[in-house]
Amino acid sequence: MDPGQPLEENYANPKTCFFHVLFKASALAFYILSALFADSFVIIFVVTVVLAALDFWVVKNVSGRILVGLRWWNEISEQGESIWRFECLDQESLVRINQKDAGLFWWTLYLNAVAWAFLGIFSLLRLRADYLLVVGVCLSLAIANIIGFTKCRKDARKKIQAFATRTIASRVSSTIQSAFSVV
């Protein structure tokens, strides 16, 4: 290896990346292959939805936290209102997130939804409403993760901006105070 060449950044969490992709790929692959080779809609529905639900849970609670430092959930208040809750790493830790891990996370999050939407269109063209139901459930889970993580990322950015503003303001204030205390 030439010492003058920049090192390529590797995945910091290869096992998490593997399982992040595995659950998405397994749900899609099972749906596609079983639709070609199996006749039992019930088995296709149950296994595909369970795999998609496992993917939803892994992304929401494991890979989202490890790969991009974000986690979200939704609560229903006593008044019946939906309340979004967001959790993110502290600002210093967010800056150190591996960009290759983050890129894989976001790309697969969106590509998974696009694949399910494409399969939904294909089911519509084939006039298979039963398979459209499977795709609808899987697409709903994928979109829920997209919405949750997108809102969480926006909330994290607001927190980072607020932290930076407070830090700069406190430094400017201390600089001004020290300048006047010298006089």
Specify whether the CB–CB gap between 98 and 88 falls below 8 A: no
* pLDDT tens column, 138-150: 999 999 999 888 8
* Tens-place pLDDT, residues 8-64: 568 778 888 899 999 999 999 999 998 778 788 899 999 999 999 999 999 998 888
The angle that helices 129-182 and 99-125 make with each other, rounded to 10 degrees, is: 150
Instruction: Choose among 77, 95, 73: nearest CA to 86.
Output: 73
Query: What was the pLDDT predicted at 8?
Result: 58
Buried b (16+ CB within 10 A) or exposed e, 103-135: ebbbebbeebbebbeebbeebeeeeeeebbebb
C-alpha 169/C-alpha 183 separation (Å) is: 22
- For residue 103, list its beta bridge partners: none
In the numeric block, the tokens 């020290």 are attached to 178
> d(Cα 5, Cα 23) in Å, to the nearest integer?
35
Helix (H) or strand (E) run with residue 170 in it: helix 129-182
d(CA 90, CA 97): 11
pTM for this predicted structure: 0.76
Answer whether residue 110 shows pLDDT above 90.
yes
